[in-house]
Amino acid sequence: MHTPVPDHLLDVLDQCSLDDGEVAGYIPELARVDPAQLAVALCTLDGTVHSAGDAEARFTIQSISKPFVYALALAEHGTAAVLEHVGVEPSGNAFNEISLDPLGRPRNPMINIGAITTTSLASIDPDQRWQRIHSGLSAFAGRELEVDESVYRSELEISSRNMSLAYMVKAHDRLEGDPDRVVADYVRQCALVVDVRDLAVMAMTLANQGRNPITGEEVVPAAICRQVLSVMMTCGMYDAAGDWMSNVGFPAKSGVSGCIMGALPGQVGIGVFSPRLDRFGNSVRGVRVCERLSADMGLHLMQAPEAASHVLHSLGDTPETDKDGDGVRQMQLQGSLHFAASEAALRELARIPEDDTIIEIDLDRVTAINSVGKRMLREGVRRLRLDGHEVRVLDGQQHLGGQDQ
Ligand code: GLU
């Protein structure tokens, strides 16, 4: 059998081959691209990459570099220090606007003014900055990325607007180092060459708490990924962030070369490429592909998981008694134990009267438990014991780490 996933991706591409939109013309080199290209790739948690369409097509990463350089800046300086330089609020302005908050900070790191600021923070040592950006983004991709020198030079020649943004931030004392050099590094990071598979792996690294699913390298800590994905969710799709949230519903970033990268935490990384852009600067067909994938595969973050109401597999007294004749009440839990499921389980446990019954909690049908679920269940066991119950935890898969049996 062949897995149907790549066939499904092909179907999605077939259904999304619209012809509207325009390729970005303001960077001369980008205007030369073949507008008909269309490609998609998905990367799973175990590093499997499925792709369809023009998956070999290479393009410059452009603004999709921004969340990764933000991650590097957070790793270098810590969240609090980075927040002093650049905020996390959606701007409601075009990507290249002078968009400062009342404190004089760029509003977020996904618009140019904020991204140029985070580029300045990517390394404490300005001489190491480009090296760090290059090696950092390559580690996210799991291979050494190259710069498209002609796109780099082409954009550098028309960089007066980005230069003016950098000088504006410098004037507010939020940009580190020399604005001209920072903009050169920013333009260079935008000219790194990727394909949709790279984007899917880079996205999956963010969605996998910072660990590259192919190389196994921990590129940045999990807490940084949470911060980056949050900012992508609210600010990643230019002015269309609200539409994106309601129609697609996973954190994403787009770039003017026509690429979109989506990351659903714990599940999947997505890369899409098609050069024609809508009026917001997002790839027309890329947005459509993401809408379809989200609907078909249930990827919208606000689509509630079903597990919470089904946490209890069974509850009842077993025929067993101990030597004093006390009965055994057995509770079998199932599925994934996060806050809501554990809360429901604890409520069931709370109904048990304070008597001499032995309580057996069977976790063998539990498929996953997060740290909150663990804490809650351990606390429930502790309280049952305080009430005088003997509590046995059947935990063959060591969900609770073997401490409570
Ligand atoms: N290098 C581009 C610029 O600064 C990136 C913009 C984008 O992809 O949104 O104009």
Verify whether residue 336 is a known catalytic residue: no
CA 196 to centroid of chain Cα atoms: 16
Angle, alpha carbons 276-279-283 (nearest 5°): 35
Query: pLDDT at position 42, please?
Result: 96
What average pLDDT does the segment 316-327 reach? 80
Query: Atom of ligand 1 at shortest distance to CA of 112?
Result: 4
Query: pLDDT at position 5, please?
Result: 87
User: Is 112 flagged in the annotation as binding?
Assistant: yes
User: Is 120 flagged in the annotation as binding?
Assistant: no
Strands 327-337 and 358-369: parallel
CATH 3.30.750.24 intervals, the chain: 312-394
Verify whether residue 238 is a known catalytic residue: yes
Query: pLDDT at position 378, please?
Result: 94
Query: pLDDT at position 309, please?
Result: 60
Query: pLDDT at position 299, please?
Result: 92
Which has the higher per-residue pLDDT, 322 or 390?
390
Which has the higher per-residue pLDDT, 91 or 220?
220
Q: Which of 56-70, 101-115, 303-317 has the lowest mean pLDDT?
A: 303-317
Verify whether residue 381 is a known catalytic residue: no
What average pLDDT does the segment 69-81 reach? 98
What average pLDDT does the segment 213-234 reach? 97
Q: How far is the CA of 248 from the centre of ligand 1 (A)?
A: 23
Those residues with Cβ within 8 angstroms of residue 144's Cβ, 6 or more apart along the chain or in another chain: 138
Query: pLDDT at position 403, please?
Result: 57
Verify whether residue 63 is a known catalytic residue: yes
User: Is 212 flagged in the annotation as binding?
Assistant: no
Q: How far is the CA of 282 from the centre of ligand 1 (A)?
A: 11
115-135 pLDDT, tens per residue? 999 999 999 999 999 999 999
**pLDDT(365) > 90:** yes
Catalytic residue among 66, 99, 248, 253: 66
CATH 3.40.710.10 intervals, the chain: 4-297
**CATH code for 4-297?**
3.40.710.10
What average pLDDT does the segment 191-195 reach? 98
Q: What percent of the chain lies above the pLDDT cut of 90?
A: 72
Instruction: For the chain, give the mean pLDDT.
Output: 92
What average pLDDT does the segment 178-187 reach? 98
User: Is 238 flagged in the annotation as binding?
Assistant: yes
Query: pLDDT at position 147, please?
Result: 98
Catalytic residue among 63, 120, 274, 294: 63
Identify the bridge partners of residue 327 per DSSP, sorted by sequence position: 321
Nearest CA to ligand 1 atom 6: 63
Query: pLDDT at position 214, please?
Result: 98
Catalytic residue among 88, 152, 219, 238: 238
7-42 pLDDT, tens per residue? 899 999 999 987 889 998 888 888 889 999 999 999
Q: How far is the CA of 123 from the centre of ligand 1 (A)?
A: 21
Q: Residue 305: pLDDT band by 50, 70, 90 thresholds? A: low
Query: pLDDT at position 307, please?
Result: 52
Ligand 1 shell residues, CB under 6 Å: 62-63, 95-96, 112, 155, 162, 190, 255-256, 281
**CATH code for 312-394?**
3.30.750.24
Verify whether residue 70 is a known catalytic residue: no
